[in-house]
Copies of this chain bind each other. A is one copy, B any other.
Amino acid sequence: MSHNGFNSWQAVQEEVLRRIQTHIWKPGDLIPHEADLSKEFGCARATVNRALRQLAEEGLLDRKRRAGTRVAAQPARKAKLEIPILRTEIEEGGMNYGYALLSCKSKAPPMSVKQRLQSAAGEKHLHVVAIHYANSQPFACEDRWINLKAVPRAESANFEEVSANEWLVNNIPFERGAIVFSAQSASSRIAKRLECDEGAALFTIDRKTMREQSVLTVVQISFAPGYQMHAVL
């Protein structure tokens, strides 16, 4: 039973995957311990561990100490998304990138965003609105609020040349964040900015970026009609 040639974690992983796919191990089943598998496969336990750990991260296995490893009953599909900087995304699509700053003012945010910013009364924030172009066509509209208390350097940044999008990625060491994707009807204001019909269906990203307990920035990016976001399973 040993020396089966499963001497790399990838090979072990493929074999485990095969047993799941062919229903040798069915959803909900307990599979053998790492120790047994390493004996069967003729490799070290660490190798089996590496293979199973990754499958668990991908949602195909459920692992618990003492309880053992089970085939996930309902494997949640986990997709990986890359959220590039807009300029990069456009240029990688072989198009010319353009950028225009529409507005950049320090002021008190409206109630709706004040809540998302967890901002105290009277605090001022930097409001930046800009358009990103692909081949001179509006590609996306960026509407951003920056917490100046958390990111003081932003006050002296020049968002005429470099978009806030890009500036933040390069200047703020990334921490945590939440993203919400939705479809929105174009308001008359946004329709004008994106040069599209009012009411058009716009793919929209709302992002909140935090460090420790403080909100650094919230942004809404509205893409011109027809935009698609791709992901891989």
Contact = CB atoms under 8 A, between A and B. Distances in A.
A143 to B, nearest CB: 17
Given A21-B174, A181-B228, A230-B178, A83 B77 contact: yes
Contacts of A231: 81, 178-181
Interface in A193-232: 199-204, 209, 223, 225-232
Nearest to A75: B174
A199 B225 CA distance: 13
B173 A185 contact: no
B201 A233 contact: no
In the complex, which range does the number of interface residues on chain A fall in?
35 or more
A23 interface: yes
Contact of A78 (B27, B83, B201): B83
A183 B183 contact: yes
A4 interface: no
Nearest to A18: B173
Determine how many copies of this chain the complex contains.
Answer: 2
A154 B87 CA distance: 44
B85 A74 contact: yes
Given A27-B170, A182-B227, A204-B183, A177 B81 contact: no
A29 to B, nearest CB: 13
A83 B76 contact: yes
Interface in A63-108: 74-85, 88
A135 interface: no
Contact of A227 (B88, B183, B232, B233): B183
- Among A83, A201, A228, find the residue whose CB has the most chain B CB atoms closer than 10 A: A201
22 contacts: A20-B174, A21-B174, A22-B173, A74-B88, A75-B169, A78-B80, A78-B83, A79-B81, A79-B82, A81-B81, A81-B231, A83-B233, A178-B233, A180-B229, A181-B181, A181-B231, A182-B183, A182-B203, A182-B226, A183-B183, A199-B199, A201-B201
Interface of A: 17, 20-23, 27, 59-60, 74-85, 88, 169-170, 173-185, 199-204, 209, 223, 225-233
